[in-house]
Amino acid sequence: MSSVPITPIQALPPELAETISTNLPLSLGILACYVIVFIGITHFARRGYSDSLSDHIVASRGLGWVVASLTLVATVLSGVGMAGFPGTVYSVGFSFIAMILVGYAVTAPAVWYLGRRMWVVGKEHDHQTPGDLLGDYYQSDTVRLYTVLASLAFNTTYIVAQLLAGGLILMILTGGIVSFELGVIVLALVVTAHLTTTGMRGIAYLDTFNGALITVLLGGFGVFIVIHAGGVGEVFNSLGDARAGFTTAPGVTGLFTPEVILIVGALFTIGNTLLSPAGWIRMYSVDAERNFAKVAAMIVGVLTLIYVFGTSFIGIYGQTVLSEGTNPDTVSSLLAFDVMPFGLAALFLVGILAAIVSTTDSYAHVLAATVSRDFIKAFISPDLSEDRELVLNRIVIIATMLAGVAGALVYSSLITPLALFVVAMAVQLLPLLFGAVAWPRASTEAAIIAPAVATILLGLFQFQMIPNPYVTPLVPGILVATVANFVLFVGISFLTSPQPLDKMEQYHGLINRKL
């Protein structure tokens, strides 16, 4: 987001390259420790793995609230949260993080309100994917196909983005012994082996460890920044005259107005946390309805701690310590070596790698589940047995990772704009979900037409093919397209008939009795 010329991430500053090469044994030792913990968690998860489809996809709906919360945090955070977000604060100021956290202040109640409903109907009707719920409620394979397309777009993009970032981190941590290309391949192999042998349970356990590690590392990073600056106030006062721009709305760019902070923040975080296929499946995986309030509270608490005292401090203090030409995505890594001892800085890079692994395995897992179940089983091979579906799931995971590696090595420049766009695409499932679990007036006609129109609008706004009445940062058309989606969804629903009464009873009746 910075307008100044930037240095390519591959070109590490010479002094940092020298520091890493001098301390290479320590760096490799820390990486090796993480790999040992990773293998241990995989082994532990493997012991409780029942090799059934339900266990593979939704962990037999048995995740306790701590595990469920941290797996969501680790999945959502990703390499973007560890490296990209501090870089964005470095470029545009704290107003960006205010947008994300105000978004979570809306998303957490949405997780509590909608998540419980998704859990109740998912448990009763054995739903395992977004397509199971929406396709069944609206009795339409078109609607089911929307969820597959959203999953393909969302997960493929993020898997490629994570492999790219992971390849770079491995290259840095190993002082170039592992090349970027080899790093991408190694990461893909590790994730594939972990996923195919442990399923959702392995992901959840690994995410719990990674989520805790990330939280401690980002919090610790904040403490070291305060010590380095000479006090909390100095972190901000060191900005001098630029302080106002970096610590108030609408920020340095003037784009983050209170309206944008609230509306775009809410849409982005709901899209990323609740409506992303990985988030959706985690709603099914929680062990009890009563725990959704705890899960939602934990997400807000942990992310507030991470984003305020970690991410924001890194971005803001980076403005003081690092020169203007720094690539924003490298700010957190470079600052780590400036303010922390080498061992902790290397551990921070391992933390970024952990976030990348968590996101990659979650997204590959859910992509395989949606493609196998909502596309191949639904449209091509309806008689597929559960055992064969499980095998198919693993084959799709391998194919996904191969495609991810190809994407990371060939089409890397397309990823950042795509990653933002696909979140906006996922948001377009919100009215459909709301209709299926909270608003019985919703009709199938509305579920088919409204999100399709909204997604086309999103594309047209993105490529500036039609005028956009309310341009927003990150994805210019997210607000207008989503409003159009809701207006069309409600309008068409009122002009057409709702779902059959027996279907309503299976969803809204069930929810009414159980909650």
Partner 1 sequence: MSWSEQWRSVDRPDSSEIPDEFSISARSTEKMMLVYFTGTTIIAYLGMKFIGTRDQLIAGLPVMMWTVVLVSVLVILGLYAVFTRSEPSEQVADLGDSTEAKHE
* Alpha-carbon separation of residue 499 from 131, 442, 505 (angstroms): 17, 7, 10
Q: Which of residues 24-53 bind partner 1 (CB under 8 A)?
A: 48
- Separation CA 424–CA 479 (nearest Å): 9
Of 151, 312, 359, 400, the residue at the interface with partner 1 (CB under 8 A) is: 312
Instruction: Give one word for 497, left, alpha or beta, with left for phi > 0 and alpha for psi -120 to 50.
Output: beta
**Can residue 384 be called a binding residue for partner 1 (CB under 8 A)?**
no
Q: 12, 264 in Cβ contact below 8 A?
A: no
Task: Please give the residues from 77 up to 106 whose contact with partner 1 meets the rule CB under 8 A.
Answer: 94-95, 97-98, 101-102, 104-106
Closer Cβ to partner 1, 59 or 164, answer by number: 59
Q: From the CB of 224, what's the least distance to partner 1, in Å?
A: 16
Rounded to a whole number of angstroms, the minimum distance from the CB of residue 81 to partner 1 is 16
Contact region for partner 1 (CB under 8 A) — 77-85, 116-124, 171-179, 484-492? 116-124
Contact call for residue 513 and partner 1 (CB under 8 A): yes
CB of 447 to partner 1, least distance (A): 9
Torsion region of 164: left, alpha or beta (phi above 0 gives left; psi -120 to 50 gives alpha) = alpha
How many Å apart are CA 98 and CA 334, to the nearest integer? Answer: 24
Give the footprint of partner 1 on residues 436-455 (CB under 8 A).
438-441, 443-444
Window 333 to 372, contacts with partner 1 (CB under 8 A): none
Phi–psi pair at 83, nearest 5 degrees: -115, -45
SS3 for 419?
helix
Stretch 487-506 residues interacting with partner 1 (CB under 8 A): 494, 497-501, 504
Q: Which one, 249 or 460, has the nearer CB to partner 1?
A: 249
CB of 503 to partner 1, least distance (A): 8
Between residues 193 and 501, which has the closer beta carbon with respect to partner 1?
A: 501
Neighbours of 18 (CB within 10 A): 12
CA pair distance 290, 152, nearest whole angstrom: 32
CB of residue 200 vs partner 1: minimum separation in angstroms? 10
| Nearest to partner 1 of 226, 474 (CB atom) | 226
**CB within 8 A of 330, min separation 6: which ones?**
7, 9, 12, 83, 87
Binding residues with partner 1: total (CB under 8 A): 87
- Which residues ranging from 190 to 249 are in contact with partner 1 (CB under 8 A)? 201, 204, 231-237, 243-244, 247-249
Q: Is residue 65 a contact residue for partner 1 (CB under 8 A)? A: yes
> Based on C-alpha coordinates, what's the Rg of the chain?
22
Considering only residues 250-289, where is the footprint of partner 1 by CB under 8 A? 250, 258-259, 261-262, 266, 287-289
Who contacts 504 (Cβ-Cβ below 8 Å, separation ≥6)?
A: 440, 498
